[in-house]
Amino acid sequence: MFKALLLEKDEAGFRAGVSSIDESRLPVADVLVQPAFSTLNYKDALALTNQAPVVRQWPMVPGIDGAGTVLHSTHPDWQAGDLVVHNGWGVGETHWGCLAERARLKAEWLVRLPAVFSCRQAMAIGTAGYTAMLCVMALERHGVKPGDGEVLVTGASGGVGSVAIALLASLGHRVVAASGKLAEADYLRALGAATVIDRNDLSAPGKPLQKERWTAVVDAVGSHTLVNALAQTRYGGVVAACGLAQGPDLPGTVMPFILRNVTLAGIDSVMAPRALRQQAWDRLARDLDPVRLESIAEEVPLEAATQRAHDLMQGKVRGRIVVKI
């Protein structure tokens, strides 16, 4: 038997709570992992609050992220005792996830935990931080270098935004953070933001082309915010889009692309190939300041995860929530 956060939905309604589950109920996969820590991402919060049809099979153990120890493996890539990280791959949606003392996962879904990180630190990063690293790598592939100009990060106080600011600042970029939580300005500056602006400056409909400002953008918001960021990006700049906190729509024009040669780079962290994932985690190990990482994270027990998921959906969370299993 093991302890897990179990989501159930039937004629009696929706329920989320910690349960004791027999190991025989775990889904079929080739690696049995004992998660030490998990985390709460936006998708986990949607599942735990039942605010969107994220879960495709019931009952479900949520937790798209996990870091822990391999207990048993039938795959040659992994042996008992290996420390691993899991992100995405539909876990918590169609396959039982890592908000549990046991998770059975596919070998190709796992990456090796970099030696510089503890399991707790890996989950302070989680999918949000790994996505932020994918965004930074995309900017670099398109030629963005420190000293080129200002880099805008939207949704700055969230998980992706917080890690993106810390990464970009540590690499020498001048970062401008856009946030709806101006009370968190000191927190954002401590992460490395040179300037903090009000997200309302970007969230309303604007002109298709605006004054050029940003060399690059990391956007986790979408909708009008993304459109305005594109309209303000300098000639030849690049915008990495990875989220939809404001909405999934793109109510803009092609003007930034055909008149300013702006690149819109889409970032997918869920189905990214294993080699790219390992590269991102290796870069995080090299480029992310552990001191800044600690300021991003809040640790809670498994029993508190559901309440914190509700808080996350209500905008009451900054940075990352680490769940101790």
DSSP string for residues in 216-242: EEEESSBHHHHHHHHHHEEEEEEEEE-
Predicted confidence band of residue 291 (pLDDT cuts 50, 70, 90): confident
Place of tokens 């207990």: 71
What H or E segment, with its residue span, contains residue 260? none
| CA–CA separation, 60 and 287 (whole Å) | 35
At 320 the pLDDT is 85
CATH fold for the domain made of 128-266: Rossmann fold (3.40.50)
| CA–CA separation, 140 and 18 (whole Å) | 43
| CA–CA separation, 152 and 131 (whole Å) | 16
Helices within 51-210 (DSSP H only): 119-141, 159-170, 185-191, 200-203
What is the CATH code for 2-113+289-324?
3.90.180.10
Predicted confidence band of residue 294 (pLDDT cuts 50, 70, 90): confident
- Percent of the chain whose predicted confidence (pLDDT) is above 70: 100
* Segment 171-196 mean pLDDT: 93
| pLDDT tens digits, one per residue of 225-275 | 999 999 999 999 999 999 998 999 999 999 999 999 999 999 999 999 999
Q: Is the per-residue pLDDT at 119 higher than 90?
A: yes
At 305 the pLDDT is 95
Q: At what angle do helices 159-170 and 274-287 cross, to 10 degrees?
A: 60
Task: Give the start-to-end residue ranges of the domains of the chain.
Answer: 2-113+289-324, 128-266
128-266 shares the fold of 2-113+289-324: no
Predicted confidence band of residue 201 (pLDDT cuts 50, 70, 90): very high
* Segment 109-134 mean pLDDT: 94
| pLDDT tens digits, one per residue of 74-103 | 999 999 999 999 999 999 999 999 999 999
Place of tokens 């702006």: 262
Q: Is the per-residue pLDDT at 137 higher than 90?
A: yes
Q: Is the per-residue pLDDT at 295 higher than 90?
A: no
Report pTM.
0.90
Provide the β-strand partners of residue 259.
none
Q: Is the per-residue pLDDT at 171 higher than 90?
A: yes
* Backbone φ, ψ for residue 121 (5° rounding): -65, -40
Q: Is the per-residue pLDDT at 64 higher than 90?
A: yes
- Round the average pLDDT of the chain to a whole number and report it: 94
- Cα 317-319-323 angle, rounded to 5 deg: 80
Predicted confidence band of residue 11 (pLDDT cuts 50, 70, 90): confident
| pLDDT tens digits, one per residue of 102-111 | 999 999 999 9
Residue type for position 119: C
Q: How far is the CA of 295 from the CAs of 105, 157, 188, in angstroms?
A: 30, 12, 10
